[in-house]
Amino acid sequence: MNLLVELFVEELPPKALKKLGESFATVLADSLKAQGLAAADAAVTSFASPRRLGVHVAGVAAKAADKAVQQKLMPVAVALTADGQATPALLKKLASIGAGPEALPQLKRQPDGKAEALFWDSLQPGATLAQGLQKALDETLAKLPIPKVMTYQLADGWSDVKFVRPAHGLVALHGSEVVPVQALGLMAGRTTRGHRFEAAQPEVSIESADSYAAQLRDQGAVIASFAERRAEISRQLKGAADALSLTPIDDEALLDEVTALVERPNVLTCAFEAEFLAVPQECLILTMKANQKYFPLLDNAGKLTRHFLVVSNIAPADASAVVQGNERVVRPRLADAKFFFDQDRKKKLEDRLPGLAKVVYHGKLGSQGERAERVRSIAHAIVNQLSMATLPYTVEADDEFKVLDSKVKQAASLAKCDLLTDMVGEFPELQGIMGGYYARHEGLRDGVAIAIEDHYKPRFAGDALPRNHTGTVVALADKLETLVGLFGIGQLPTGDKDPFALRRHALGVIRILVEKNLPLDLPALIDAAVPPFGELVTNPRDALLGFFADRLAVSLRDQGYSAQEVDAVLALSPARLGDVPRRLEAVRAFAALPEAASLAAANKRVGNILKKVEGELPTEVKPELLQEAAEQALAAAITEVQPAADRLFEQHDYTGSLKALAALKAPVDAFFDDVMVNAEDAALRANRLALLGRLHAAMNRVADLSRLAT
Residue 228 makes CB contacts below 8 A (sequence gap 6+) with none
Q: Give percent of the chain above pLDDT 90.
A: 68
If one compares 561 and 125, the residue with the highest pLDDT of the two is 561
Please report the pLDDT score of residue 622 as a whole number. 83
Q: Angle, nearest 10°, between helix axes 401-414 and 469-488?
A: 60
Q: Top-level CATH class of 351-560? A: mainly alpha
pLDDT for residue 111 is more than 50? yes
Tell me which of 261-275, 404-418, 588-602 is least confident.
Answer: 588-602
User: For residue 364, which of 490, 261, 508 has the smallest C-alpha distance?
Assistant: 490
* Average pLDDT estimate for 352-358: 95
Q: Please, are residues 60 and 32 in contact by the beta-carbon 8 Å criterion?
A: yes
Distance from C-alpha of 379 to C-alpha of 373, rounded to nearest angstrom: 10
User: What is the pLDDT at residue 227?
Assistant: 97
β-pair partners for 69? 122
Distance CA 149, CA 257 (A): 20
Looking at the predicted structure, is the pLDDT value of residue 399 above 70?
no
Question: 98-112, 187-201, 466-480, 656-670: which has the minimum mean pLDDT?
Answer: 98-112
Q: Is the pLDDT of residue 343 over 50?
A: yes
Kindly report, residue by residue over 25-75, the tens digit of the pLDDT. Answer: 999 999 999 999 999 999 999 999 999 999 999 999 999 888 877 888 888
Q: Is the pLDDT of residue 9 over 90?
A: yes
Are the C-beta atoms of 646 and 580 separated by less than 8 Å? no
Which range among 17-21, 46-50, 63-67, 176-180 shows the weakest confidence by mean pLDDT? Answer: 63-67
If residue 361 lies in a helix (H) or strand (E), which one and from where to where?
strand 360-362
Residue 520: pLDDT band with limits 50, 70, 90:
very high
Residue-wise pLDDT tens digits, 544-574: 999 999 999 999 999 999 999 999 999 999 9
pLDDT at 626: 82
CATH of domain 582-708: 1.10.730.10
Q: Quick check: 271 and 326 in contact, CB under 8 A?
A: no
pLDDT digits (tens, 9 = 90+) for 457-471: 999 888 999 999 999
Q: Is 593 helix (H, G, I), strand (E, B) or coil?
A: coil
Inter-axis angle of helices 563-570 and 580-591, to 10 degrees?
120
Q: Per-residue pLDDT for 473 more than 60?
A: yes
Least confident of 62-66, 191-195, 300-304, 544-548: 62-66
If you average pLDDT over every residue of the chain, what do you get?
Answer: 91
Task: Look at residue 398 in the predicted model and tell me its pLDDT.
Answer: 47
142 CB neighbour count, 10 Å cutoff: 8
* Residue extents of the structural domains in the chain: 3-63+128-218, 68-124, 226-344, 351-560, 582-708
Ordered alpha helix ranges (H), 357-501 = 368-387, 401-414, 422-426, 433-441, 446-454, 469-488
* Phi and psi angles of residue 703, each rounded to the nearest 5 degrees, phi first: -160, 165
Contact 420, 552 (CB under 8 A): no
Is residue 300's pLDDT more than 70?
A: yes
Q: Tell me the C-alpha distance between 457 and 511, whole Å.
A: 10
Give residue 397's pLDDT band: very low, low, confident or very high (50, 70, 90).
very low
Average pLDDT over residues 409-435: 95
State the DSSP H helix or E strand holding residue 250, giving kind and residue range, or none if neither: none
What SS3 state is found at 489?
A: coil
